[in-house]
Structure 1
Amino acid sequence: MAGDAADQTRRGKYADRLDPELWAYIDKVNSWYPPEIVAAPIAEQRAVYNRMCAAFHHGRPAGVSAGDGLVVTQAHAIPVRHYRMANRIATAIVVYYHGGGFVLGDLNSHDDICAEICAGTGFEVISADNRLAPEHLHPAAFDDALAVFEWVAATSALPIVLCGESAGGTLAAAVAQATRHHERHAVGQVLIYPGLGGDESGRSYIEHAEAPLLTLADIEFYRRVRSAPGQVLDDPTFSPLRDRDFSGLPPTVIVTAECDPLSSDGEAYRNRILAAGGQAWWREEKRLVHSFLRARMTVPRAAEAFARIISDIARLGAGDGALISPHGG
């Protein structure tokens, strides 16, 4: 009983707000990648994060094949991984940008997620491995994300859906904004708990400043570590919500977690697109936290949210955005 009381105290206002299965996931993440790790050297952070990702990897669904390649630019080569479904002709292609705060992550950290998107939609998926901070400051990650989009646009005739989670959602939004007038612009974008540079006096930033797995202090750390000297926050390639023009964007779905300081960014981004005459849907998944995609195998709410995300991607790739419900119906 004493242990239960200690847990209640440690978990604070989230003790009863999150399901027991989600707390088991949070505790498992923290056993691998404890909150204090952000003070460790970057190389150590990456090693611990990669081990955690490997521990959560659930394998690829049957029928999904994957091959690695390089997108060669004038400056360097960007690793990519291409997923396909056997014996199925894809009708769209997803460009996926991984999370990790612009500091962590690679082609392996989100491999099973990309494979499941491929299996769930039947679409091809290209996963992009952008350069990481602090070795490579902004706009390095954005430049890589844009280069992969342009390569896909030049080498595939399939409709393109942009997708990313967390830092990858930031990159997807920035690429969508930068390429909205491209001859082969994206037909849709799905942003999963993205950080878009929103107002930190907003609702979720205040209410969930100390949320499990992502705090306001974490957000500020990752923003600082990727910022070049004199970084201008109003740069839309750094903070997509700071753009002055939200017209011409593809149909957009933003999915956030209720207990995540970034959730208000999704609401604000939807509102900006709608005000500019575009199509956008924002869905806040209740009783979930940042990084819930990794919990999809053990947490029913996360599994249901991921299934809705796959449906969103499928509908946007098929040009059926009008069928998307803000409640996932």
Structure 2
Amino acid sequence: MSTTEESVIRLAETADPVELSLVVPLFNEEESVGPLIEQIVASMSGYAERWELILVDDGSTDATILKARASLARPDLELRIVELQRNFGQTAAMQAGITHARGRLIATLDGDLQNDPKDIPLMVAELVRRELDLLVGWRQNRQDGLVLRKIPSWIANRLIGRITGVRLHDYGCSLKVYRASVIKQVKLMGEMHRFIPAWVAGVVPSSRIGEMPVTHHARQHGVSKYGISRTFRVILDLLAVMFFMRFRARPGHFFGSLGLGLGALSGLILFYLAVDKFIFGNDIGTRPLLMVGIMLFLSSVQLITTGILSELITRTETDASTYIVRTVHEKDG
């Protein structure tokens, strides 16, 4: 754990309790960050508990960080800005915000004004009422392109639900509310933010994960960071999720099963060739099947040893961060 993160934890232990932390990753959203802060403050004006806003600048190359820092002096806003050293991606930025959050509850939303902050108090109340650990927003009336966003998202949501067993209509909605004690048990890596409900289902029963309809707006400024190529990354990430959910604690079973299967097939092939050679006297030296049997045997050995190494790795604790914080901006400078 880094020195910055240790100081955040110590601060969380001594400060007055924060009920809700709002985490917003930002990347080149200079036109959106000002209106976003205004909407958040207006939407949270009736919230009775103490709350904070955490903006995570994910290595923006425009004036996003400067415009965000302009709101640090606002008396009606408890704001902290986590500035990352470079662009690490939305998942890492979200992880950074969650790590620095001090609230008992954590809400996440995008910084492009497509999520509506007015839904946050309603979602918080719904999560508490239903005694959930995670409440996911459901964009029933999405304001996105049909081909580039809606159809790939529709396919991905059904694939994810079928493979993970967590049935939701909208995995990709960034507007979510969590219990901090639960989401901080989940380490987000790669581009796995869209699979957060599946990761949360690894630490709590799926019955404690719910969804509710939320408002969705068309993008007002800038350009979308997503395209059709994201569909292929989702498929690869989905395979990784399936592996981790089923074999994270026992990767040796996955690789070992494949290795034993190939080894058995190799044994049958080599046994057949041995019988053909020594019983029937046929020449097998130039037969392609001999090479296939040898390659299957070598693959079997490799997979079994990979499984053993994977078991060793899973038993080795690691705390490598997926991001580097340049600095944290607060009101006191």
TM-score normalised to the size of structure 1?
Answer: 0.25
Question: Taking CA–CA contacts closer than 8 Å with sequence separation of 6 or more, which of the two structures ends up with the larger relative contact order?
Answer: 2
Scaled by the length of structure 2, what TM-score is found?
Answer: 0.25
Structure with larger Rg:
2
Which of the pair is proportionally richer in helix? 2
